[in-house]
């Protein structure tokens, strides 16, 4: 029997998507990479390093989209930068707002591939769900993205660009002017009147399209910029990476990125997990749970989240809940179980478990002392399940999409 999907990472060596005008998009690059570009373009080593530090701050901490706004960079230098570099954002193909406040975007890369991003606000936090690939090589049977072929990995710029775009839309870049720091003192950022504002976007989950651990280097580089105190400055405690179980990459994710881990477990027996999460045929449940037990940084204060999609008559029996508890105990895991009502899509081979079944399942896990919240479905009126907007948009004609976009822009004023 052939195994659906291919289980090995698809190498996509490209770091930056090339642009027709030959300029280089700086978004996604580290200080060192920016300094190297400046050096190549003719600055001396000291100037390249200083300018890279200033530009990094303006790009990621202040969110400016033009070099003219970089007030501590000499006026004569700004056109020099603009001739060679750009500050990009993913193109917005479609933007939707649900009546529950969930926002969803269909975005497009410079080489015309569409991918998705979702923002989910609630009372205490605002979570941005970020994509790591266009499509996915794995074919989890309940996942709509799994029905698409992998087009390519997203670059670090396209991953960080999602967070930057969300901050643009939510109006969350720091306001206030910044006094020009002393040019000769690259370390001196004191003496500015910059104040971080209270933000809507407080958390990031790598739970959009794609398997982040099959695009490890780009996801790591992007998240480093997101976590950098002089970059987007989001704490690693507010970032969660979700994997379907790419066991060989989990230790590196802990060591080199260090964010919270979520694991798409979804089943507790080999037969069922083989069927619904086919990567299980390569890395089985025991191996996966051992990798979780070894995950650097996991503790009771930083528990691993186990995602469990509730599929009617497939993985939702009392005995499945008891087995889940037993497994988590056997591996001594500091765990939290996130029960996800299945979000159906046209042609899906499963149904969602009944509310009573989900409640009973949650009770069994909770009574064993493991937190087991049921995720509230959000944005159902805008097809907020992963992969659905992309397909819905492909069904619409280009003209219709353009018309919708114009309406949205008009509505936004």
- Which residue, 27 or 213, is less far from ligand SAH as judged by CB? 213
Question: Which CB contacts under 8 angstroms, 24+ apart, belong to 117-123?
Answer: 117/162, 117/165, 117/166, 117/208, 118/208, 118/379, 118/384, 119/166, 119/170, 119/201, 120/378, 120/379, 121/200
Asked whether the beta carbons of 113 and 123 are under 8 A apart, the reply is: no
Pick from ligand SF4, ligand SAH, none: which does 343 bind, CB < 5 to 8 A by kind? ligand SAH
Tokens representing 308 are 């469990």
Give 264 or 315: the residue with its C-beta nearer to ligand SF4. 264
242 near ligand SAH, judged by CB under 6 A = yes
What is the contact mask toward ligand SF4 in residues 160 to 199, using x (rule: CB under 6 A)?
A: ----------------------------------------
> Interface with ligand SAH includes 264 (CB under 6 A)?
yes
Q: Which of 109, 155, 162, 244 binds ligand SAH (CB under 6 A)?
A: 244
Residue 377 CB, nearest approach to ligand SAH (Å): 9
Single out the segment in contact with ligand SF4 by CB under 6 A; choices: 87-95, 138-146, 290-298, 399-407: 138-146
Angstrom distance (rounded) from CA 150 to CA 209 = 10
Q: What are phi and psi of 264, to 5 degrees?
A: -80, 85
Please tell me whether residue 385 binds ligand SAH under the rule CB under 6 A.
yes
246: contact with ligand SF4 by CB under 6 A: no
Q: Does 207 bind ligand SAH (CB under 6 A)?
A: yes
Strand, coil or helix: what is 323? helix
Clarify whether 136 is annotated catalytic.
no
3-state secondary structure 30-46: CHHHHHHHHHHCCCCHH
* CB neighbours of residue 11 within 10 Å: 8
Is residue 371 within 8 Å of residue 308, measured between CB atoms? no
Which two tokens mark 203?
């958390």
Catalytic residue among 116, 158, 211, 307: 116
Residues within window 118-137 making contact with ligand SF4, judged by CB under 6 A: 136
- List, in order, residues 6 or more apart from 26 with CB less than 8 Å away: 34, 37, 55, 59, 85, 86, 87, 88
Nearer to ligand SF4, 53 or 282 (CB): 282
Is 116 tagged catalytic? yes
Using CB under 6 A as the binding rule, whether residue 307 contacts ligand SAH is answered as yes
Residues that bind ligand SAH (CB under 6 A): 140, 142-144, 207, 211, 242-244, 264, 307, 309, 340, 342-343, 385-386
Which residues are designated catalytic? 116, 386
């Amino acid at each position: 029997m052939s195994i659906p999907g291919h289980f090995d990472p698809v190498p996509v060596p490209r770091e930056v998507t090339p642009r027709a005008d030959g300029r280089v998009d700086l978004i996604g690059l580290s200080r060192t990479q920016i300094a190297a570009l400046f050096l190549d373009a003719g600055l001396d080593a000291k100037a390249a390093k200083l300018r890279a530090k200033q530009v990094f701050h303006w790009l990621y901490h202040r969110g400016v989209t033009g070099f003219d706004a970089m007030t501590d960079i000499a006026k004569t230098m700004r056109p020099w930068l603009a001739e060679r570099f750009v500050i990009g954002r993913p193109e917005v193909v479609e933007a939707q707002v649900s009546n529950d406040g969930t926002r969803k975007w269909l975005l497009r890369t410079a080489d015309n591939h569409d991918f998705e991003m979702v923002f989910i606000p609630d009372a205490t936090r605002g979570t941005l769900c970020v994509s790591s690939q266009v499509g996915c090589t794995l074919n989890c049977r309940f996942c709509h993205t799994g029905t698409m072929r992998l087009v390519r990995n997203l670059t670090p710029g396209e991953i960080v660009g999602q967070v930057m775009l969300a901050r643009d839309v939510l109006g969350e870049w720091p306001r206030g002017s910044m006094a020009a720091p002393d040019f000769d003192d690259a370390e001196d950022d004191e003496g500015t009147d910059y104040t971080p504002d209270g933000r809507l976007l407080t958390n990031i989950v790598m739970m959009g399209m794609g398997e982040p651990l099959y695009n490890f280097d780009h996801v790591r580089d992007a998240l480093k910029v997101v976590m950098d105190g002089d970059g987007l400055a989001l704490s690693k405690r507010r970032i969660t990476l979700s994997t379907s179980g790419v066991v060989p990459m989990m230790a590196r994710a802990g060591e080199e990125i260090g964010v919270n881990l979520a694991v798409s477990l979804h089943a507790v027996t080999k037969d069922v997990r083989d069927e619904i999460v086919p990567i299980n045929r390569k890395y089985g449940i025991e191996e996966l749970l051992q990798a979780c037990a070894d995950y650097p940084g996991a503790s009771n204060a930083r528990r691993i989240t186990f995602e469990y999609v509730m599929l009617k008559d497939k993985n939702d029996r009392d005995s499945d809940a008891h087995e889940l508890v037993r497994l988590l105990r056997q591996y001594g895991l500091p765990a939290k179980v996130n029960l996800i009502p299945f979000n159906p899509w046209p042609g899906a081979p499963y149904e969602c478990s009944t509310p009573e079944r989900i409640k009973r399942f949650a009770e069994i896990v909770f009574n064993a002392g493991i937190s087991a919240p049921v995720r509230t479905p959000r944005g159902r009126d805008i097809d907020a399940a992963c992969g659905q907007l992309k397909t819905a948009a492909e069904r619409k004609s280009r003209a219709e999409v353009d018309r919708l976009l114009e309406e949205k822009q008009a509505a936004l004023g």
